[in-house]
Chain A
Amino acid sequence: MSDAQQAAIAPPKGPSWDELRVGLKVGPLSYLITPELVTSFCAALPVDAAPYLARGEMPATMLATDYIPLLHGTLELGWGLMARHSLKCLRPVRIGDTVTVTGEVTDKYERKGRHYWTLRYEVKDSAGATCLENLISCSVD
Chain B
Amino acid sequence: MAAKLATEFQMTQQAIDAFGALVGQRAPQLKRTPGTGHHSDPAAAKSVGLRGPVAYSLHYYGHVADLMTQRHGERWLRGGEMAVAFIKPVCAGDDIRVVVGERPVQRPEQVPNGSHGFQVDVYNQFGELVAAGVATLPDEATS
Interface residues of A (CB under 8 A from B): 1, 4-5, 7-9, 29, 31, 37, 40-41, 43-47, 51-52, 57, 59-66, 68-69, 72, 79, 81-92, 141
Given known contacts A5-B41, A44-B59, A91-B78, A69 and B86 CB-to-CB distance under 8 angstroms: no
The secondary structure that dominates the B interface is helix
Min CB distance B78 to A, Å, is 6
Contact A43 B26 (CB under 8 A): no
Q: Which B residues from 13 to 47 make CB contacts under 8 A with A?
A: 15, 18-19, 21-23, 25-27, 29-30, 33, 35-38, 41, 43-44, 47
* Interface flag for B79 (CB, 8 Å): yes
* Interface flag for B139 (CB, 8 Å): no
In the complex, A68→B62 CA distance in Å? 16
In the complex, A9→B89 CA distance in Å? 18
Q: A64-B61, A69-B26, A72-B27 are in contact. List 16 more A-B contacts (CB 8 A).
A: A4-B33, A9-B47, A37-B26, A41-B22, A44-B18, A44-B21, A51-B70, A60-B77, A65-B58, A66-B26, A68-B23, A84-B84, A84-B85, A88-B81, A89-B79, A92-B78
Contact A68 B77 (CB under 8 A): no
Given known contacts A60-B69, A81-B89, A84-B84, A44 and B78 CB-to-CB distance under 8 angstroms: no
* Interface flag for B118 (CB, 8 Å): no
Closest to B64 in A: A61
* Interface flag for B99 (CB, 8 Å): no
